[in-house]
């Protein structure tokens, strides 16, 4: 058994011999004598079966169309067969349903035809029964209905000499006074009809009388309702007139109250104006606004706010003098604040310059480090290129041939 290995470092193919196989085939074997035994072909059959399975597997695996497109022909064929079977079953079901519908329609039409035939047979039987069993000649008053007396011309096969009294059909004196009876019946019917007509006319007159009385009663009720409505409207009109009079009286009273209130308010306002004009509040007298506090000159006078009319020139000059002093003091404080701000600005400028100097030194140091790193990277790149050239031109010089690539994809395992 051979083992083929590929060395990626040297690009060489290494062929190893299985030690077990070498030992097996190189070791001296014992001599066996030939004996007539039946040949066992099971191993050959197994080998052939494996070869056929391997060939089928390679045909299935190395088929580019199936491998690239991912088609499963067996599954697709199975789906096609299933779809056809499903469509065939659906068609059979539809055909069975159509046959069932046709059969049901035929049965229904047959039942309808049988029902019509049964009805026609019943009608024929009924007509035949009436023609045989319910003839007009067989009734008791058949001779009266046909307006003739005596026998109806029935043919009796027995001779009259052999018939007894019970077989007699017409008697002497039968039918006497039928016209008078019929006339009396007609008169009685006419009297009954006349009585019914008179009764109906009477009922109609009573009904009309009741309707007339009911109409008169409704008219009386309508007249009563109209009178009541007129009285109610008159009462409402009187109530409105009384309410209007009351409202007018209330309005006149309100107007009088408002007039008196206005005159009282105007009098009060005039008195207040007169008091304001004649009082010390409009005289602008400074003394009128001063009030002596308990304790004498210690507390000093207090000002009455409702009578004060301004300050005196002395007070105004004192206020102006104090305001000037405050202005000078504020100016002095602003000068001091300005000097302090200038000192702080100078200190910040010095600190800023120191910071800029430190930042410049840091940038120079960072630049030197970057230059040094670039040099180191260039050295590493140079070494890498030299190593790649050594690998490609010196070490890996044995290129694989076409025979090396033919060993792949030659087996399905």
264-287 pLDDT, tens digit per residue, is 999 999 988 888 777 666 666 666
* Residue 403, domain member (yes or no): no
**3-state class of 292 per DSSP?**
strand
* Residue 274, domain member (yes or no): no
Three-state SS letters, 163-200 = CCHHHCCCCCCCCCCHHHHHHHHHHHHHHHHHHHHHHH
* Residue 410, domain member (yes or no): no
| Structural domain for 237, as ranges | 41-258
- pLDDT band with cut points at 50, 70 and 90 for residue 11: very low
Stretch 53-74: mean pLDDT, rounded?
Answer: 73
In terms of phi and psi (left: phi > 0; alpha: psi -120 to 50; beta: otherwise), the region of 156 is beta
Is the predicted pLDDT of residue 362 greater than 90, yes or no? yes
Is the predicted pLDDT of residue 22 greater than 50, yes or no? no
What are the backbone angles phi and psi of residue 171, rounded to the nearest 5°? -115, 155
Report the distance separating Cα 310 and Cα 335, nearest Å.
37
* Residue 361, domain member (yes or no): no
* Residue 245, domain member (yes or no): yes
Q: Which two tokens stand for residue 331?
A: 């100016």
* Residue 225, domain member (yes or no): yes
pLDDT at res. 8: 42
- pLDDT band with cut points at 50, 70 and 90 for residue 200: confident
**3-state class of 290 per DSSP?**
strand
* Residue 397, domain member (yes or no): no
Contact 280, 293 (CB under 8 A): no
Report the distance separating Cα 202 and Cα 210, nearest Å.
12
Whole-structure pTM value: 0.23
Length of the chain: 413
- pLDDT band with cut points at 50, 70 and 90 for residue 62: confident
Contact 287, 307 (CB under 8 A): no
Stretch 108-127: mean pLDDT, rounded?
Answer: 92
pLDDT at res. 28: 45
**3-state class of 124 per DSSP?**
helix
Report the distance separating Cα 285 and Cα 279, nearest Å.
11
* Residue 264, domain member (yes or no): no
Q: Distances in Å between the alpha carbon of 328 and those of 94, 210, 319, 334? A: 118, 124, 14, 10
Number of domains in the chain: 1
Sequence-separated (6 or more) residues with CB below 8 Å from residue 139:
145
pLDDT at res. 1: 41
CB environment 281-312: b (16+ within 10 A), e (fewer): beeeeeebbeeeeeeeeeeeeeeeeebeeeee
**3-state class of 331 per DSSP?**
helix
């Amino acid at each position: 058994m051979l083992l083929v290995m590929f060395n990626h470092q040297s690009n060489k193919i290494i062929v190893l011999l299985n030690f077990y196989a070498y030992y097996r085939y190189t070791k001296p074997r014992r001599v066996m004598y030939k004996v007539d035994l039946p040949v066992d072909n099971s191993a050959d059959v197994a080998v052939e079966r494996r070869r056929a399975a391997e060939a089928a597997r390679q045909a299935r695996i190395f088929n580019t169309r199936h491998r690239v497109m991912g088609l499963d022909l067996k599954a697709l064929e199975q789906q096609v067969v299933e779809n056809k079977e499903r469509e065939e079953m659906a068609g059979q079901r539809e055909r069975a349903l159509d046959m069932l519908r046709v059969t049901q329609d035929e049965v229904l039409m047959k039942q309808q035809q049988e029902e019509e035939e049964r009805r026609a047979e019943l009608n024929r039987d009924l007509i035949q029964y009436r023609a045989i069993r319910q003839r007009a000649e067989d009734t008791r008053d058949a001779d009266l209905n046909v307006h003739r007396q005596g026998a109806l011309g029935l043919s009796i096969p027995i001779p009259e000499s052999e018939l007894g009294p019970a077989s007699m059909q017409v008697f002497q004196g039968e039918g006497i006074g039928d016209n008078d009876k019929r006339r009396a019946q007609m008169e009685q019917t006419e009297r009954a009809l006349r009585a019914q007509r008179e009764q109906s006319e009477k009922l109609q007159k009573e009904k009309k009388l009741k309707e007339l009385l009911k109409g008169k009663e409704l008219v009386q009720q309508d007249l009563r309702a109209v009178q009541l409505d007129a009285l109610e409207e008159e009462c409402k009109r009187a109530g409105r007139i009384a309410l209007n009079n009351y409202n007018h009286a209330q309005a006149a009273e309100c107007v009088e109250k408002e007039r008196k209130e206005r005159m009282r308010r105007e009098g009060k306002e005039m008195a207040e104006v007169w008091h304001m004009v004649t009082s010390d509040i409009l005289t602008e007298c400074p003394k009128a606004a001063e009030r002596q506090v308990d304790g004498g000159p210690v507390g000093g006078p207090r000002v009455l706010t409702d009578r004060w009319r301004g300050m005196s020139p002395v007070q105004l000059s004192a206020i102006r003098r104090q305001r000037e002093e405050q202005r000078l003091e504020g100016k002095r404080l602003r000068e001091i604040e300005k000097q302090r701000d200038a000192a702080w600005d100078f200190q910040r400028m010095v600190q800023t310059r120191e910071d800029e100097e430190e930042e410049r030194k840091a940038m120079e140091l960072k630049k030197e480090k970057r230059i040094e790193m670039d040099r180191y990277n260039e050295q590493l790149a140079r070494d890498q290129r030299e190593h790649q050239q050594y690998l490609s031109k010196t070490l890996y010089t044995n290129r694989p041939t076409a025979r090396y690539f033919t060993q792949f994809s030659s087996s399905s395992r």
